[in-house]
């Protein structure tokens, strides 16, 4: 277990467990997380009230070390996307392994990480609501050691930000966002990029510090054609840094992109183009058994699983498992049965999975494990996740804050 380094994170271990945390053994009721960890129980002997989501400690350690070494070898840093797990405990481990900041998508997510003392935040969106900007300005003014950067992709957005930040002591750092046709946010043409950058540089309340983008906005599946499109898009980002060099108000220009599908391509195209190249991969920590198992170029191990008992065998090749859409992701592929070669989940209801058992002997009452496809939409279904070693002993209890 990585020791907590901030008082708010340490305090989580003194909070008592109760019925609000689904899946945990009834015997843990009213115990603190620290007391459970001191006993080092074997989870499945302790009696989880299935289904239960778990993380695998050896895989987490491997993935942290792999990403840290990979980035160090290439001279880039990572600001992992905190929306994936929304767990200050897990981000503390990423920071200890070299992460330079946590990335978030919303002010709500930023507030969670600030409540746990995170000192550097990347807000990967244009922030235009006045209450959110007021909160950010107050945080920056109150703490000189706090740093934050967000995007701009419209002159209108620059105007709204400038107006809302009137009276703030510190300027807000911004990157102009380069978009792609048919993609998500971001300026669509070089002329628009330049216009927005000029507006941001002229704002008395903003400080233009770099260029941002998201290369997988149109595809999360790697192919030769998709990779070629990604390279063209990244070349546009690189060109923008060169074109706008006179407008940046920092000696440490930021160039940031990178989900969990194309980090190698991002490094190939962007490394050396700016003082700081920052990846924002979110799913490398847990990887998965579906979407990223097929797409990630890094040698990562799946760490996130959901376990549940078989509740019915109504037909020879059909087992019903008490795990469904309330418990595991299904937006990027159905759950993957572990240790049952050839078996597959064919459908999910709210609380049931339909398992085609492929001739495996599966009995009512058996506990089965499932890998996920897309970690983000499994994490948000769980408020507390046991971390297990290879013997299924509980070595940490991770809280999430969605």
Say how many CA atoms lie within 13 Å of 209 toward its Cβ: 21
Task: Answer whether 196's CB lies under 8 Å from 155's CB.
Answer: yes
Q: What is the pLDDT of residue 258?
A: 85
In this structure, the answer to whether residues 148 and 258 fall within a common structural domain is yes
Which range marks the domain in which residue 378 is found? Answer: 7-57+300-399
The model carries a pTM of: 0.96
Whether residue 11 is predicted with pLDDT greater than 60 in this model: the reply is: yes
Whether residue 112 is predicted with pLDDT greater than 70 in this model: the reply is: yes
* Beta-strand runs (E) in 26-96: 52-56, 77-78
Mean pLDDT of the residues in the chain: 96
In this structure, the answer to whether residues 329 and 238 fall within a common structural domain is no
In this structure, the answer to whether residues 66 and 91 fall within a common structural domain is yes
**Where a domain ends, among 279, 309, 329?**
279
In this structure, the answer to whether residues 262 and 374 fall within a common structural domain is no
Other C-beta atoms lying within 10 Å of the C-beta of residue 76? 22
Task: Answer whether 338's CB lies under 8 Å from 292's CB.
Answer: no
**Where a domain ends, among 246, 279, 312?**
279
Task: Answer whether 82's CB lies under 8 Å from 102's CB.
Answer: yes
In this structure, what are the phi and psi dihedrals at residue 145, rounded to the nearest 5 degrees?
-90, -5
Q: Which of 204, 148, 146 is nearest to 173 (CA)?
A: 148
174-196 confidence digits (pLDDT tens): 999 999 999 999 999 999 999 99
Element holding 197 (H helix, E strand): helix 190-202
In this structure, the answer to whether residues 12 and 103 fall within a common structural domain is no
What are 306's two structure tokens?
């959901």
In this structure, the answer to whether residues 12 and 105 fall within a common structural domain is no
Other C-beta atoms lying within 10 Å of the C-beta of residue 73? 9
Residue 295 lies in a domain: no
In this structure, the answer to whether residues 267 and 380 fall within a common structural domain is no
20-69 confidence digits (pLDDT tens): 999 999 999 999 999 999 999 999 999 999 999 999 999 999 999 999 99
In this structure, the answer to whether residues 246 and 307 fall within a common structural domain is no
Angle of CA points 239, 243, 245, to nearest 5°: 115
Q: What is the pLDDT of residue 355?
A: 98
Whether residue 309 is predicted with pLDDT greater than 60 in this model: the reply is: yes
CATH code for position 389: 2.40.37.20
Q: What is the pLDDT of residue 5?
A: 62
Please state the rounded mean pLDDT for residues 228-247: 97
Q: Could you tell me the pLDDT band of residue 219, with boundaries at 50, 70 and 90? A: confident
In this structure, the answer to whether residues 82 and 45 fall within a common structural domain is no
Please state the rounded mean pLDDT for residues 263-278: 96
287-306 confidence digits (pLDDT tens): 999 999 999 999 999 999 99
Q: What is the pLDDT of residue 218?
A: 81
In this structure, the answer to whether residues 94 and 131 fall within a common structural domain is yes
Residue 1 lies in a domain: no
- The pairing of beta strand 344-348 with beta strand 353-356: antiparallel
Element holding 45 (H helix, E strand): helix 43-46
Whether residue 384 is predicted with pLDDT greater than 60 in this model: the reply is: yes
Please state the rounded mean pLDDT for residues 333-348: 98
Please state the rounded mean pLDDT for residues 259-284: 95
* Percent of the chain whose predicted confidence (pLDDT) is above 70: 99
Whether residue 113 is predicted with pLDDT greater than 60 in this model: the reply is: yes
Q: What is the pLDDT of residue 1?
A: 45
Task: Answer whether 345's CB lies under 8 Å from 388's CB.
Answer: no
Q: Which of 237, 358, 400, 305 is nearest to 54 (CA)?
A: 305
Whether residue 3 is predicted with pLDDT greater than 50 in this model: the reply is: no
In this structure, the answer to whether residues 103 and 239 fall within a common structural domain is yes
Q: How far apart, in whole angstroms, are the C-alpha atoms of residue 17 and residue 360?
A: 37
Residue 286 lies in a domain: no
66-105 confidence digits (pLDDT tens): 999 999 999 999 999 999 999 999 999 999 999 999 999 9
Residue 150 lies in a domain: yes
Whether residue 319 is predicted with pLDDT greater than 70 in this model: the reply is: yes
Residue 315 lies in a domain: yes
- Count: domains in the chain: 2
Residue 213 lies in a domain: yes
Q: What's the Cα-to-Cα distance from 6 to each of 11, 78, 280, rounded to whole Å?
A: 9, 21, 23
CATH code for position 165: 3.20.20.10
Residue 78 lies in a domain: yes
In this structure, the answer to whether residues 218 and 258 fall within a common structural domain is yes
Residue 332 lies in a domain: yes
């Amino acid at each position: 277990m990585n020791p907590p380094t901030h008082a708010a994170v340490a305090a989580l271990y003194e909070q008592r467990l109760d019925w609000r945390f689904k899946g945990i053994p009834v015997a843990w009721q009213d115990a603190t997380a620290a007391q459970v960890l001191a006993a080092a129980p074997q989870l499945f002997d302790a009696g989880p009230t299935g289904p239960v989501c778990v993380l695998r400690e050896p895989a987490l350690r491997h993935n942290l070390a792999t990403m840290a070494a990979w980035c160090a070898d290439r001279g880039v840093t990572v600001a992992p996307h905190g929306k994936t797990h929304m767990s200050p405990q897990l981000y503390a481990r990423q920071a200890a392994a070299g992460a330079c900041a946590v990335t978030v998508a919303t002010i709500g997510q930023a507030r969670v990480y600030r409540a746990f003392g995170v000192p550097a935040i990347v807000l990967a969106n244009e922030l235009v609501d006045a209450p959110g900007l007021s909160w950010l300005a107050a945080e920056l003014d109150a703490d000189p050691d706090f740093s934050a950067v967000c995007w701009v992709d419209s002159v209108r957005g620059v105007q709204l930000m400038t107006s809302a930040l009137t009276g703030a002591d510190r300027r807000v750092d911004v990157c102009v966002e380069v978009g792609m046709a048919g993609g998500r946010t971001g300026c669509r043409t070089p002329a628009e990029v330049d216009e927005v950058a000029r507006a941001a540089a002229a704002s008395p309340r903003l400080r233009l510090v770099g260029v941002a983008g998201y290369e997988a906005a149109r595809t999360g599946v790697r192919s030769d054609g998709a990779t070629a499109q990604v390279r063209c898009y990244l070349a546009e980002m690189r060109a923008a840094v060169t074109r706008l060099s006179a407008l940046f108000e920092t000696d440490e220009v930021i160039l940031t992109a990178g989900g969990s599908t194309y980090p190698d391509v991002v490094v190939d195209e962007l490394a050396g183009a700016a003082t700081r190249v920052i990846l924002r991969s979110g799913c490398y920590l847990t990887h998965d058994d579906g979407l990223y198992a097929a797409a990630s170029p890094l040698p990562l191990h799946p760490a996130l699983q959901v376990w549940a008992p078989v509740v019915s065998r109504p037909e020879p090749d059909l087992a019903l498992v008490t795990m469904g859409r309330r418990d595991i992701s299904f937006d990027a592929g159905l759950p993957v049965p572990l240790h049952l070669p050839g078996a597959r989940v064919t459908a999910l209801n709210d609380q049931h999975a339909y398992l085609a058992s492929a001739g495996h002997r599966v009995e009512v009452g058996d506990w089965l494990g499932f890998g996920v496809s897309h970690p983000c939409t499994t994490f948000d279904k769980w408020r507390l996740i046991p971390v297990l070693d290879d013997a299924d002993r509980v070595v940490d209890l991770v809280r999430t804050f969605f």
